[in-house]
Amino acid sequence: MFRRKPQPPTSVEWVIAGLGNPGPEYARTRHNVGFDLIDVLADKHRIKIDRAKHKARIGVGTIDGVGVALVKPLTFMNLSGQALAPILREYGVKPDHLVVIADELDFPVGKVRMKPKGGSAGHNGHKSIIHSLGTDEYPRIRIGIHSERRNETIDFVLSKFHPEERVDIDAAIRKAIAGIEMLVESGVERALNIVNEGD
């Protein structure tokens, strides 16, 4: 009787991290749009987020044959770098192969933008990552969460989307995922063309 050869562990080429806050009380809030994207991406590519390590939930698999680690830091937003720095070290991934997805308060709901590198733009998650990595040279995707109904910032970012906004956010997540798929397959320039098209 023939036995299947054990498959070698997936070699991770990209770390894809969605930022958010852990806990059911934060689920599907504006600040957790990065977590939402990771869940959709994992489901699409049948990657199980089944590892708990480095203060994060991690799933390892492939996108179009390229090894990836999908990450949801459990440190709370403002300490995201404490999770991502050791994960990059473990997988031997350089910052330019880290993609970070986070909410953007200055963009209207559903607007998506990708940058190959840059400063924090006042986002505390990016501040933490830049501090922990010692560089801001990593790609990032920003998904707009601003609403005309906005109130005080802290309460607002922890609020849930209105049903009509959720439609726009889900469309934004699909667009961002198309960019991520292009990024791991063909590089950052082609991904930028997809995500930033129309701006």
Per-domain boundaries in the chain: 14-195
Total-model pTM: 0.89
> Lowest mean pLDDT: which of 30-39, 121-130, 140-149?
140-149
Q: With bands split at pLDDT 50, 70 and 90, how would you rate the model's confidence at 159?
A: confident
Between strands 140-146 and 112-115, the pairing is antiparallel
141-152 per-position pLDDT tens digit: 999 988 766 555
CA dihedral 109, 27, 103, 101 (to 10 degrees): -120
Angle between helices 124-133 and 80-91 (to 10 degrees): 40
Contact by Cβ (8 Å): 156, 103: no
What the block records as the tokens of 166 is 């959720």
Is 45 marked active-site?
A: no
CATH code linked to domain 14-195: 3.40.50.1470
Extract the tokens encoding 107. 């963009």
pLDDT band at 85 (very low <50, low <70, confident <90, very high): very high
The angle at the Cα of 170, spanning 41 to 161, to the nearest 5 degrees, equals 125
- Select which of 31, 54, 97, 126 is catalytic: 31
Are residues 102 and 34 in contact, defined by beta-carbon separation less than 8 angstroms? Answer: yes
